[in-house]
């Protein structure tokens, strides 16, 4: 596992095996590099163009994309956006909501996964089967009844109303349960003999052993919550509670043709996760493998 990640991260020392593994002749290698470069360029182009636009004045942004801006490159659009204060507010809302969703989701999912993996109680198998079946339910089709329910519970236009429905993640319970199943029971038994209770065993032994998977699951849940559009869009009308994705969607209409500012807002909105990905690249790629999603 770890050697795999090494292979991936440090191509230098492994070019030998990489080359022999795929038997790359020089031609194939050059061809591969060109294909990669072209694809990567296509994939980065919209983002790069967004960045360059955000560094122009509005007048230049509406001009030819091939000419250097007459007004020069500048951060005016960013300053404007930050001064108006909406984007920072939305970012703050998104951060609070995403952290709350992540902590709650991972917390209750890990507890449930531990319950399903390590304990016995009546109906356990049946409940787990129900949880697995629920993975199939497309949450999006429940927006109508869920909105009515939130209305009845007086949770529309509240943080709780945005957060709570998002913490139900049967898939995460499933992934965590699969992982807990692989932890040797002997480790827990020793602690139990020393008199540790169930919750204590869970917190001091199972959780620390599961760090890689917990990090991976947390990242997935966080990305999901940060980028969630549909639910926050439906459940709130309060401008003070708008999340970043929802707020941004309103900006486009409000500003009309202010492309530099729209792009600056978009780039600001994209930054946190892009930075997170760069910092946690290894964990995210590894997470796909350990979560069983990318496994064999």
Q: Hey, which residues between 147 and 206 contact other proteins (CB under 8 A)?
A: 147-149, 164-165, 167-168, 170, 173, 185, 189, 192-193, 197-198, 201-202
SS3 content of the chain, % helix, strand, coil (to 5): 80, 0, 20
Site for other proteins in 3-22 (CB under 8 A): 4-5, 7-9, 11-12, 14-15, 17-22
Kindly tell me which residue out of 2, 26, 43, 240 binds other proteins, with binding defined by CB under 8 A.
43
> Considering only CA atoms, which of 86, 265, 238 is closest in space to residue 162?
238
Gyration radius (Cα) of the chain, Å? 24
Binding mask 69-98 for other proteins (x = CB under 8 A): ------------------------------
Alpha carbon distances (Å) from 69 to 112, 256, 267, 268: 57, 21, 19, 21
Residue 73: DSSP 8-state: S
User: What binding mask, one character per residue, do residues 210-229 give for other proteins by CB under 8 A, x or -?
Assistant: -------------x--xx-x
Q: How far apart are CA 243 and CA 236, in angstroms?
A: 9
- Residue list 252-291, contact with other proteins (CB under 8 A): 252, 259, 262-263, 265-266, 269-270, 273-274, 276-278, 281, 284-286, 288-289
Task: Considering the complex, state which of residue 40 and residue 68 has its C-beta at the smaller distance from other proteins.
Answer: 40
Between vectors from CA 90 to CA 96 and to CA 168, what angle results, nearest 5°? Answer: 45
Binding mask 112-151 for other proteins (x = CB under 8 A): x-xxx-xxxxxxx--x---x--x-xxxxxxxxxxxxxx--
Give CA–CA dist 130/109, Å, rounded. Answer: 14
């Amino acid at each position: 596992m770890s050697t795999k990640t090494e292979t991936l991260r440090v191509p230098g020392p492994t070019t030998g095996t990489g080359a022999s593994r795929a038997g790359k002749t020089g031609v194939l290698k050059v061809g591969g590099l060109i294909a990669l470069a072209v694809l990567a360029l296509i994939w980065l182009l919209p983002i790069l163009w967004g960045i360059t636009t955000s560094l122009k004045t509005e007048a230049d942004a509406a001009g030819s994309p091939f000419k250097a801006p007459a007004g020069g490159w500048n951060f005016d659009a960013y300053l404007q956006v930050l001064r108006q204060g909406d984007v920072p507010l939305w970012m703050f809302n998104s951060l609070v909501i995403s952290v709350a969703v992540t902590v709650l989701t991972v917390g209750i999912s890990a507890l449930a996964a531990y319950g399903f993996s390590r304990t016995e109680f009546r109906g356990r198998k049946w409940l787990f089967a129900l949880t697995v079946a629920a993975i199939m339910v497309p949450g999006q089709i429940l927006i109508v009844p869920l909105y009515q329910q939130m209305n009845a519970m007086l949770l529309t236009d509240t943080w709780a109303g945005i957060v709570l429905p998002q913490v139900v993640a049967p898939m995460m319970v499933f992934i965590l349960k699969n992982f807990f199943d692989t932890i040797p029971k002997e480790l827990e038994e020793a602690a139990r003999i020393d008199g540790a209770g169930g919750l204590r065993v869970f917190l001091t032994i199972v959780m620390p052993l599961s760090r890689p998977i917990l990090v991976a699951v947390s990242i997935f849940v966080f990305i999901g919550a940060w980028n969630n559009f549909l639910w926050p869009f439906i459940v709130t009308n309060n401008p003070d509670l708008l999340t970043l994705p929802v707020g941004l969607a309103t900006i486009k209409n409000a500003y009309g043709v202010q492309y530099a500012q729209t792009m600056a807002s978009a780039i600001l909105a994209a930054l946190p996760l892009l930075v997170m990905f760069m910092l946690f690249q290894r964990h995210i790629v590894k997470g796909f493998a350990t979560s069983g999603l990318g496994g064999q």
